[in-house]
Amino acid sequence: MPLRDAPVLICYDGSDDARRAIGVAASLVGRRDAVVLDVGPIETVGGDYVAIDPDAQKVDRLVDQDALTRASAGADLARAAGFRAEARSEVDSTTWSAVVDVADEVDAAVIVIGSRGLRGLKETVEGSLAHQVAEHAGRPVLIAPPSHRRH
């Protein structure tokens, strides 16, 4: 699929940085198809209790539903910005890996992600999803920096 026809994958977690990234992407890539993705964490504690309580398996489904609700809100924002957007959720223990897997699956032209602007030790300790995605994606990644007004 030519890049101009491939969808944009927008990472969305409900944060101000994610909302800002949608606007940045709309101004740079224009109207096109988009998949808005939120990745919920696997609840490993729930897995430990499955043998004791079969209802514990519902935890990951609830996490997925929560992620889809957030992705749907992001898709609404993306549509308002001019994208033809659909919402998608995944549940994974490694967020960057889920993002890269979905980008590969939809053959995204670009991955769009907001950055919190972490640097130095804070980035090392807290981790940077944007950095991890850019390092592993094998495709263009548009990282929207945080607003200058934060400082």
What digits encode the pLDDT tens for the residues 108-132?
999 999 986 555 444 444 457 888 9
- Is 80 exceeded by the pLDDT of residue 3? no
Helix (H) or strand (E) holding 20, with range, is: helix 16-29
- Give the Å distances, CA to CA, from 103 to 8, 35, 52, 75, 132: 9, 9, 37, 16, 14
CATH topology assigned to domain 11-34+94-150: Rossmann fold (3.40.50)
* Separation between Cα atoms, residue 4 and residue 48, nearest integer Å: 45
Q: How does pLDDT run across 49-86, given as a tens digit for each residue?
A: 455 556 656 777 888 899 999 999 999 999 999 999 99
Tell which residue, 105, 106, 109, 99, has the closest CA to residue 134: 99
